[in-house]
Chain A
Amino acid sequence: MRFQTEKMRPPRALWVPFELGRPFGTPNDPEFQTKVLKALLGTLEPENGPVLADFDEDAPPSPADTGDDQEAWACPIELQAPPPQTKGDDDALEQALLREIGQLRPWYELSVEQRGRTTVGVSPLDIEGNARYIAAFLGDEWPDSPSEDMSATVALKHAFEDMRAWYFEAVAAQPGRVTGTSTQIIDWFWHETTAGAVLKKLDEVCRESDDEVMQAFGGFLLLPRYVTGSVGDGSDGRRNAEYGDNPAIAAE
């Protein structure tokens, strides 16, 4: 944010207008990325500072988003509606999640083939293992961490990271379709998939938990503000907790 940079006064800075998470503008657009990078390097030239320059040009659409059928973005498979979320249906929810993963798997594999890479792999578990591990937190007995290197809660966070990355990559892969904007993918993931339903339920479990770390996890590390539409009232630590103010999870 420009006002934050004005307040902190770093020696040389470039303000850019792009979506948060894309500081160099547009994926797979080397020309535009180079333009941003050269503007950033340009802030090194003045003899006096602080320097705060503006890059006042919006990012062009991603090459993947400019196909003829741009309007046709849609989920590549017809997913079954998430099952009802009543107490006692945790096993059914886990089975539905595993079925959904099975349906999406060909698209995930196609994505890896097309992109030549995947960003899945933070968690030591595979996608089915992550699904089972996350679903187990909906039951009465929470599972142990799958790794000696991390607590059960950190492992839960990484399982969530991997599941989200796996779904995002899978849905972006349908041939003849466009990648979709990030908000389309977020809407799809959180509102139309069983994975989204499971994670929303996990959010509730976390909030109702006596465990401070789990409360914090549910409070602000699972659902994006784009989905909750709120920063909360601040009393749950949400306002600044993402930035390490919550002593419970700072210790994890």
Chain B
Amino acid sequence: MARWEELPEYEREYLAGLRLPEFDHTPWTPAKPLSERRIALISTAGIERRGDKPYPFFSGEFRLIPTDVDPSELVMSHLSPNFDRTGFQQDINVVIPIDRMRELEAEGFIGSVAKFHYAFMGGSQPQDMEPHVPELARLLRGDEVDTVLMCPV
């Protein structure tokens, strides 16, 4: 329940105590029609394909999730014990809506879906993820992606 007033006191205390990164400005790109966009998903749920190297503790590395991945290949190794797993166990789309994206592509609501989506282990510090971002940006450009949807858990 991500409604603040419905969270237990200990959870509010925890979340209120987290340090957040601060940014001097908000980057901005001009709007363009959804039907012309090529979109990738980036999850911070610490998901990976079974057999991939599991995320080391607090690793800033990312993992590839092919858009045609078989859901039975996906596992989750996020460090935090503090968010629900049972939804993901029933249906990956409640965490990373790969099937919903394909449906929106098929009906022309969006231009196209990227060849790959990506996942980070969201308990890591942003500065530990940063060294991996240029590689991720290169992969996204190579796939002609112009839009990413960040899907935190």
Residues of A with Cβ closer than 8 Å to B?
A: 1-4, 7-11, 15-28, 30, 33-34, 37-38, 40-41, 44-47, 49-50, 62, 64, 115-122, 149-150, 153-154, 157-158, 161, 164-165, 168-169, 172, 179, 182, 185, 213, 221-226, 228-231, 234, 239-240, 242-245, 249-250, 252
Contact = CB atoms under 8 A, between A and B. Distances in A.
Contacts of A115: 89-90
Contact of A121 (B75, B85, B87, B149): B75
Given A37-B97, A240-B18, A117 B72 contact: yes
Contacts of B48: 122
6 contacts: A4-B15, A7-B20, A9-B26, A18-B2, A24-B93, A242-B82
Residue with the greatest number of chain A CB neighbours at <10 A, chosen from B4, B22, B86, B89:
B86
Interface in B52-88: 53-54, 56-58, 71-72, 74-77, 79-88
Given A17-B1, A41-B34, A157-B79, A27 B123 contact: no
Given A243-B18, A249-B57, A19 B89 contact: no
Query: Top 5 nearest A-B pairs by Cβ distance?
Result: A21-B84, A117-B72, A21-B83, A27-B91, A27-B90
Interface string B23-64: 100111111001001000000010010110110111000000
Nearest to A49: B28
B135 interface: no
B77 A244 contact: no
A51 B27 CA distance: 12
Interface of A is mostly: loop
Interface in B108-134: 109-110, 123-125, 128
A244 B123 contact: yes
B104 interface: yes
Contacts of B149: 40-41
Contacts of B29: 11
Count class of interface residues, chain B: 35 or more
Contacts of B150: 10
A17 B3 contact: yes
B144 interface: no
A49 B77 contact: no
B87 A21 contact: yes
B101 A154 contact: no
Nearest to B60: A244
A172 B94 CA distance: 17
A27 B93 contact: yes
Contacts of A229: 8, 10
A244 B1 contact: no
B57 A157 contact: yes
B90 A28 contact: yes
Contact of B89 (A165, A231, A242): A165
B95 interface: yes
Given A41-B149, A154-B56, A221-B79, 20 more contacts: A1-B2, A9-B26, A19-B83, A20-B2, A22-B94, A24-B93, A24-B95, A25-B94, A27-B86, A27-B91, A37-B101, A47-B31, A121-B50, A122-B75, A164-B85, A168-B85, A225-B10, A231-B14, A242-B82, A242-B123
Contacts of A38: 104, 109
B10 A239 contact: no
Contacts of A169: 89
Given A119-B85, A230-B10, A244 B104 contact: no
B31 to A, nearest CB: 5
B90 A20 contact: no
